[in-house]
């Protein structure tokens, strides 16, 4: 790490918001040296509660996040907010830019709001967002809230970064609930029926209750982790003894349903209490440790995919470029499998040398 980045890291750890903003910009832009910065952040992370807020567009996510941040501040806790915005087709940046839609907390430096672009990555929630969470955690934020735009795969990907996921469901017909069920309902640790003063709120709550009850048979919340942790927790348990798995299944988390009217702040305290209850469950049940392990495993896989992809792109260029190779296939001179084997040979050779060195060291 160069001297400038070392100074930047020191300023971030000293609690300077300007340094936090610069570090996140380096992360988002993948600026030279950002990897060393993120690597250095890891030793200072692990204390923040990370909450994901997701749901269909128009559910009132931004207003609820505003009230959530305001209430946390009233309790003396510092807050970081990452808003995942749609990518601009022209610049790749966040369409809404450095928006401030959180009227209640404008000017409060202990509420740090950052919009980030999905940048067209798989699922929208890019590796950069996970790294930005690390930066806010290392900075010392007590609560980090990630708000997704509520479209596409974002809601699923947020799971890899958030400890607790709250899914907002606006009052509506059962058809809306059924539509959501195929995607984001399964990842919920807490359900929030926002705009609960509108017609249809009671019916929506009832439909969610019925869905959670049906899920006890092995669907929504009956797999031992509740919500989005269910399958991952079971997978993690495969490495553990069966008694732990059985105990977790018996005492698994069942997603509560909270009614809020975010514009008035109604129900926000109850919402925060449920988020805290889920955090307690995660720690007491041992699920949090498994969750973190799963998250780091996924980060390692993602980085390996990115790096190997980069190596292969370099090999492709050295071999004359993908178009020339495709032309060779078109002319019948070779085939895609042979090309892939040839390009992978140098990488396989390097891996083989590493294995030999490891055996020699052992």
Q: Which helix (H) or strand (E) holds 318?
A: helix 287-318
pLDDT of residue 153: 63
Closest among 136, 145, 150 to 70, alpha carbons compared: 145
Average pLDDT, integer, range 43-56: 91
pLDDT of residue 149: 72
pLDDT tens for 324-353 read: 999 999 999 999 999 999 888 888 888 888
The winner for highest mean pLDDT among 10-24, 48-62, 226-240, 291-305 is 10-24
Question: Is residue 219 over pLDDT 60?
Answer: no
Of 22-26, 143-147, 216-220, give the lowest mean pLDDT range. 216-220
Q: CATH class for domain 45-285?
A: alpha beta
pLDDT tens for 99-120 read: 444 444 445 568 999 988 755 4
In the chain, ranges of CATH 3.40.50.300 domains:
45-285
pLDDT tens for 163-201 read: 999 988 888 755 666 666 556 667 889 999 998 888 888
pLDDT of residue 93: 42
Of 8-22, 150-164, 283-297, give the lowest mean pLDDT range. 150-164
Question: Is residue 38 over pLDDT 70?
Answer: yes
What are the residues whose beta carbons fall under 8 Å from the beta carbon of 183, sequence distance 6 or more?
A: 155, 156
Strand order in the sheet with 79-85: 111-117, 79-85, 143-147, 49-55, 164-168, 190-193, 257-259
pTM for the structure as a whole: 0.79
pLDDT tens for 229-245 read: 433 333 333 333 433 33
């Amino acid at each position: 790490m160069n001297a400038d980045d070392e100074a930047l890291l020191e300023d971030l750890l000293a609690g300077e918001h300007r340094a936090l903003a610069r570090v996140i910009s380096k992360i988002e832009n993948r600026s030279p040296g950002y990897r060393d910065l993120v690597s250095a952040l890891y030793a200072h992370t692990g204390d923040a509660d990370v909450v994901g807020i997701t749901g269909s567009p128009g559910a009132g996510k931004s207003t609820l996040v505003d009230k959530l941040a305001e209430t946390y501040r009233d309790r003396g806790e510092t807050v970081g907010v990452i808003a995942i915005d749609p990518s601009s087709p022209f610049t790749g940046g966040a369409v809404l830019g450095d928006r401030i839609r959180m009227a209640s907390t404008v000017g409060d430096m202990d509420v740090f709001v950052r919009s980030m672009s999905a940048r067209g990555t798989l699922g929208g929630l890019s590796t950069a967002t996970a790294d930005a969470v690390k930066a806010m955690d290392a900075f010392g934020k007590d609560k980090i809230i990630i708000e997704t735009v509520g479209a596409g795969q974002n809601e699923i990907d947020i799971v890899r970064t958030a400890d607790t996921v709250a899914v907002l469901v606006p009052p509506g017909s059962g058809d809306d609930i059924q539509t959501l069920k195929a995607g984001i309902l399964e990842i919920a640790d807490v359900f929030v029926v926002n705009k609960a003063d509108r017609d249809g709120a009671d019916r929506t709550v009832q439909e969610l209750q019925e869905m959670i009850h049906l899920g006890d048979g092995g669907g929504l919340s009956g797999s031992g982790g509740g919500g989005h942790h269910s399958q991952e927790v079971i997978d993690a348990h495969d490495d553990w003894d069966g008694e732990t798995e059985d105990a977790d299944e018996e005492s698994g988390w069942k997603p509560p349903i909270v009614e809020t009217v975010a514009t008035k702040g109604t129900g926000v305290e109850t919402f925060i209490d449920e988020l805290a209850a889920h955090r307690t469950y995660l720690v007491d049940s041992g699920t949090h440790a498994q969750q973190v392990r799963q998250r780091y495993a996924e980060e390692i896989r993602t980085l390996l995919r990115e790096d190997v992809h980069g190596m292969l792109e370099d090999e492709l260029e050295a071999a004359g470029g993908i178009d020339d190779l495709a032309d060779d296939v078109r002319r019948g001179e070779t085939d895609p499998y042979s090309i892939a084997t040839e390009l992978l040979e140098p990488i396989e050779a390097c891996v083989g040398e590493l294995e030999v060195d490891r055996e020699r060291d052992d």
